Amino acid sequence: MDMGTLFRALADDSRLRIMLLLQVMELSVGELAQVLEQSQPRVSRHVRILAEAGLAERHKEGSWVFLRPALPRRDHEAARLLDAFLRREDAVGETLCAQHASDRAQLDAIRSVRDQRAADFFAQHAGEWDAIRSLYLPEAEVEAALAALIGDRPLGRLLDIGTGTGRMIELFGPIADHSTALDRSPEMLRLARAKLQHMQGGTVDLIQADFYALPLADGAADTILLHQVLHYAQNPQAVLDEAGRVAAPGAHIAIVDFAAHALEELRERDAHARLGFSDEAMTALLAHAGFDLAETCSLSGGTLTVKIWLGQHRGEPARIHPHSRTPETPRKAAA
């Protein structure tokens, strides 16, 4: 690793601002342009320099390009030291700290608008949610494949993150010791409550909360489900890190979502934040959250391919740095 190249890349204030923002979360070039209030071509040039220096990694998703820090994955002492330095806001100077605080506030405002758009979509379409899901692949096929992948292992304390209408709890709740159905949308939870009212009292908790801040204790879940939820997350890593926090040692996590695709219209029409996930990307996301990928399953139907990833928690905490959790999301719960 050429340290001179690294420090020359960071000598520009805009590129240092970009690297500090990437410590918070993975961002698109367009989002960085909005935060920095610079043109996309100019930001793209900064990104190219950072990538060539080995400081950032680019990955394309449809017509969008996302950035993430490359240093944590470099097996070099210099990389570890520089990565630790970038995570210490007190080490970059009072002026830059003030600029970074302003950048964070701008980023939070951008994210808030997008989160509200997604929340509005859920509220408008809550009553037809199961039908929307069935457009991609017959849901019965997905449910059968998920049940086969989970097998007959004990579910213990089941957590369904982004429960929607409660269908996953309806399927797997009867064989769990206790179930928690969690969603941020009150409209969805009302539908879930109606669907699950036949289940034995005390066996299911319905909680209104955000998947970035689960109102559960560490190690509180033995089985975690995210069924067609993760592609709505602006920060999928933070969601899975939080799932890793509440996972008991040896807990299983099953993620049902789309394989990587290029249907850009889903961003605007259906409020998708991410266009599916590759196996490589999902393996890395899970590993960071403390899970090993155990099994995968692919289900092709129509234009999109549905994937199921099954992971098992190693019993180690997620590698969460101070800014990995969305800071503006409060922990709250409501029956």
Residue type, 43: V
Q: Please identify, among 72, 100, 124, the residue that sits at the C-terminal boundary of a domain.
A: 124
Out of 124, 159, 176, pick the residue that ends a domain: 124
Higher-pLDDT residue of 205, 277: 277
In a domain, 184, yes or no: yes
Does residue 162 belong to any structural domain of this protein?
A: yes
pLDDT digits (tens, 9 = 90+) for 279-334: 999 999 999 999 999 999 999 877 789 999 999 999 875 554 333 333 333 333 33
305: exposed, middle or buried (C-beta count within 10 Å: 0-12, 13-18, 19+)?
A: middle
pLDDT at residue 77 greater than cutoff 50: yes
The answer to the question of residue 117 being in a domain is: yes
Please give the residue that has the higher pLDDT: either 90 or 303.
Answer: 303
- Whether residue 45 is found in the same domain as residue 147: no
Name the 3-class secondary structure at 321: coil
In this prediction, residues 101-112 reach a mean pLDDT of 83
Q: How many domains does the chain have?
A: 2
Residue 59 lies in a domain: yes
- Cβ neighbour number for residue 151 with a 10 Å cutoff: 9
- Both 143 and 183 in one domain: the answer is yes
Which domain does 295 fall in, by range?
129-313
Residues 41 and 106 in one domain: yes
Distance CA 242, CA 253 (A): 12
Count CB-CB contacts under 10 A for residue 128.
11
Q: 45 lies in a domain?
A: yes
Q: Going by DSSP bridges, is the β-strand pair 27-28/64-69 parallel, antiparallel, or unpaired?
A: antiparallel
Structure tokens, 58: 């680019």
Query: Do 139 and 64 share a structural domain?
Result: no
On whether both 171 and 263 belong to a single domain, the answer is yes
CATH number of the domain that residue 204 is part of? 3.40.50.150
Q: How far apart are CA 121 and CA 268, in angstroms?
A: 10
Alpha-carbon torsion (328, 81, 99, 27), positive or negative: negative
CA 204 to CA 196: how far, in whole Å? Answer: 8
Q: So what's the pLDDT on residue 300?
A: 87
Instruction: Judge whether 319 lies within some domain.
Output: no
289: nearest Cα among 209, 232, 203, 211: 211
Question: What is the C-alpha to C-alpha distance for residues 121 and 304, in angstroms, rounded to an integer?
Answer: 21
- Judge if 241 and 120 occupy the same domain: no
Residue, of 98 and 304, whose pLDDT is higher: 304
Q: What ranges in the chain are assigned the alpha helix state H? A: 3-9, 13-22, 29-36, 40-52, 77-87, 94-125, 129-134, 139-150, 167-172, 186-195, 236-246, 265-269, 279-288
Are 48 and 27 part of one and the same domain? yes
At residue 279, the pLDDT reads 96
**Backbone phi, psi, residue 257, to 5°:** -160, -175
Asked if residues 70 and 84 have their Cβ atoms less than 8 Å apart, the reply is no
Confidence check: pLDDT of 125 > 50: yes
**Mean of pLDDT values over 136-161:** 91
> Does residue 138 fall inside a structural domain?
yes
Q: In terms of domains, do 161 and 275 share one?
A: yes
The number of beta carbons lying within 10 Å of the beta carbon of residue 323 is 16
CA distances from 86 to 17, 71, 237, 281 (A): 10, 10, 19, 24
Give yes or no for a contact between 291 and 131, defined as CB atoms under 8 angstroms apart: no
Same domain, 198 and 300: yes
Residues 306 and 209 in one domain: yes
- Is 207 found in the same domain as 104? no
Closest C-alpha to 114, from 31, 21, 25, 238: 31
pLDDT for 89 beyond 60? no
Task: Give the CATH number of the domain where residue 89 resides.
Answer: 1.10.10.10
Whether 148 and 272 map to the same domain: the answer is yes
In a domain, 13, yes or no: yes
